[in-house]
Amino acid sequence: MQAKETLFADLVQGKAQQFQVPLYQRTYSWTEKQLRQLWSDILEQAELIERGEQANTHFLGSVVLAPSPQNDATFSRWLVVDGQQRLTTLSLALAAIRDHVKDAEPRQAERIDEQYLINKWQTGIDHFRLLPTQADRTQFAAHIRGPLTEQVGSSVATAYSFFRRKLVEAADPSAPQDVFRIEQAITSRLTLVAVTAQHGDNVHRIFESLNNTGLKLSQADLLRNYLFMKLTTRGEHVYETYWLPLQDSLSNEELEQLMWLQLVLDGDDRVRRQDLYAAQQQRFERDEASEEEIEDYIRELYGRAAVFRRLLHPEEEPDAAVRAHLLRLNAWQAQVTYPALMLLLDRRARGDLDSTDTARAMSYIESFLVRRMICRVPTNNLNRIFQSVPGQLPLDVPVADGLHQLLSSENRFWPDDRELREKIQKAPFYQFGRSQQRKVVLQRLEESYEHPEPVDFAAAQLTIEHVMPQSPGDEWLEMLEEEAADGESAKDLHSRLQHTLGNLTLTAVNSELSNHPFERKQGLLHGSHLEMNRRIAATERWGAKEILARADELADRAISLWPAPLRGVGRAQRSRDWHLAHQVLAALPHGTWTSYGDLAAFLGSGAQAVGNHLASTPGVVGAYRVLTSEGKVSEGFRWTSDDDGDDVRSRLAADGIRFTVTGAADPAQRLTADDLALLVTEDDDRAEAEDTAQRTTSAGQGEETRADRFLRQLAADDSPETVEAVRTLFARWEELGGWIGHGAGQVMTSAFLMLGQAGAPGRGIWPMTLYPGSGRGGTAEVVFQYLATRDPFTDRALRAELLTRLNKLEGVHIPEGKLELRPNIRLSLLVKNGNLELLAETLVWFRDRWETRETV
pLDDT of residue 281: 87
Contacts of residue 76, defined as CB under 8 A and 6 or more positions apart, other chains included, come to 15, 16, 17, 18
pLDDT of residue 98: 95
Alpha helices in 273-398 (DSSP H): 276-286, 291-312, 320-331, 338-349, 355-374, 382-387, 389-392
pLDDT of residue 856: 39
The DSSP letter of residue 485 is P
761 falls in which pLDDT band (50, 70, 90)? very low
pLDDT of residue 689: 43
What is the C-alpha R_g of the chain?
29
The one-letter code for the residue type at 343 is L
pLDDT of residue 400: 95
Pick the closest to residue 50 from 181, 186, 187, 188 (CA basis).
Answer: 181
Length of the chain: 856
How far apart, in Å, do the first and last CA atoms of the chain sit?
Answer: 29
Q: Which of 44-58, 96-110, 489-503, 683-697 has the lowest mean pLDDT?
A: 683-697
693 falls in which pLDDT band (50, 70, 90)? low
Average pLDDT over residues 688-699: 49
pLDDT of residue 690: 43
200 falls in which pLDDT band (50, 70, 90)? low
Contacts of residue 814, defined as CB under 8 A and 6 or more positions apart, other chains included, come to 668, 782, 803, 806, 807, 823, 825
Would you say domain 573-673 falls under CATH 1.10.10.10?
yes
The DSSP letter of residue 92 is H
User: From CA 480, how far away is CA 478, in angstroms rounded?
Assistant: 5
pLDDT of 654 strictly over 70: yes
Per-residue pLDDT tens over the stretch 257-284: 999 999 999 878 778 888 888 888 888 8
Q: What are the backbone angles phi and psi of residue 20, rounded to the nearest 5°?
A: -105, 125
515 falls in which pLDDT band (50, 70, 90)? low
Average pLDDT over residues 366-378: 94
Q: How far is CA 799 from CA 75, 89, 233, 611, in A?
A: 40, 21, 62, 35
For residue 181, the number of C-alpha atoms closer than 13 Å in the C-beta half-sphere is 15
pLDDT of residue 806: 96
Pick the closest to residue 465 from 549, 525, 546, 378 (CA basis).
Answer: 525
Burial of 124 (0-12, 13-18, 19+ CB in 10 A): exposed
Average pLDDT over residues 246-267: 90
pLDDT of residue 485: 85
pLDDT of residue 747: 53
Give me the DSSP letters along 675-728. HHHHHH----TT--HHHH-EE--PPPTT---HHHHHHHHHHTTS-HHHHHHHHH
The DSSP letter of residue 133 is -
Contacts of residue 700, defined as CB under 8 A and 6 or more positions apart, other chains included, come to none
- Please give the sequence-ordered ranges of beta strands (E in DSSP) within 94-246, or none if there are none: 130-131, 190-196
Pick the closest to residue 56 from 69, 47, 68 (CA basis).
Answer: 47
Report whether the peptide linkage leading into residue 454 is cis, meaning its omega lies within 30 degrees of zero. no
pLDDT of residue 462: 83
Q: What are the backbone angles phi and psi of residue 739, rounded to the nearest 5°?
A: -145, 160
pLDDT averaged over every residue in the chain:
85
Report whether the peptide linkage leading into residue 792 is cis, meaning its omega lies within 30 degrees of zero. yes
Pick the closest to residue 79 from 2, 17, 16, 141 (CA basis).
Answer: 17
Q: What percent of the chain has pLDDT over 90?
A: 46
The CB density around residue 52, as the number of other CB atoms within 10 Å, is 6
User: From CA 152, how far away is CA 306, in angstroms rounded?
Assistant: 56
The one-letter code for the residue type at 653 is A
Q: Which of 145-149, 463-467, 578-582, 622-626 has the lowest mean pLDDT?
A: 145-149
Pick the closest to residue 799 from 812, 817, 787, 809 (CA basis).
Answer: 787
Average pLDDT over residues 720-737: 94
- Which residues on adjacent β-strands are paired with residue 416? none
Strands 768-771 and 779-782: antiparallel
pLDDT of residue 248: 87
Per-residue pLDDT tens over the stretch 90-129: 999 999 999 999 988 999 999 999 999 999 999 999 999 9
User: With contact defined as beta carbons under 8 Å apart, do 553 and 474 qualify?
Assistant: no
User: From CA 168, how far away is CA 582, in angstroms rounded?
Assistant: 7
Average pLDDT over residues 209-232: 72
Largest CA distance in the chain: 88
User: From CA 155, how far away is CA 152, in angstroms rounded?
Assistant: 10
Pick the closest to residue 9 from 131, 185, 143 (CA basis).
Answer: 185
816 falls in which pLDDT band (50, 70, 90)? confident
Three-class secondary structure of residue 489 per DSSP: coil
Pick the closest to residue 281 from 228, 227, 318 (CA basis).
Answer: 227
User: With contact defined as beta carbons under 8 Å apart, do 722 and 714 qualify?
Assistant: yes
pLDDT of residue 627: 94
pLDDT of residue 641: 64
pLDDT of 213 strictly over 50: no
The DSSP letter of residue 663 is S
Pick the closest to residue 790 from 695, 690, 696, 694 (CA basis).
Answer: 690
Per-residue pLDDT tens over the stretch 765-786: 999 999 886 556 889 999 998 8
pLDDT of residue 386: 94
Q: What percent of the chain has pLDDT over 70?
A: 89
User: From CA 313, how far away is CA 656, in angstroms rounded?
Assistant: 53
User: From CA 244, how far away is CA 835, in angstroms rounded?
Assistant: 63
The DSSP letter of residue 631 is S
Average pLDDT over residues 366-386: 91
Domains of the chain: which residue ranges?
Answer: 2-211, 219-418, 423-568, 573-673, 689-851
pLDDT of 688 strictly over 80: no
